[in-house]
Amino acid sequence: MRRAISAQRTAATARMVSRVRLGRLRRVDATVGSINHAVLVDNRAPTAR
């Protein structure tokens, strides 16, 4: 649980930073982030169950 929370915080922080630095690529960053998140959730689902 702690790892998941810390990972989410890290991802959120990375998104904040990338948004400030790459304002033009917000959509691209958001898409990549959503894909990575989906992959993590998909990989963790079996373990959670």
pLDDT of 28-48, one tens digit each? 767 887 888 787 777 776 665
Domain hosting 8: range is 2-48
Q: How many domains does the chain have?
A: 1
CA 6/CA 1 separation, integer angstroms: 9
Q: What is the DSSP string of 22-33?
A: -GGGHHHHHHHH
The pLDDT value recorded for residue 1 is 61
What's the mean pLDDT in 4-21? Answer: 80
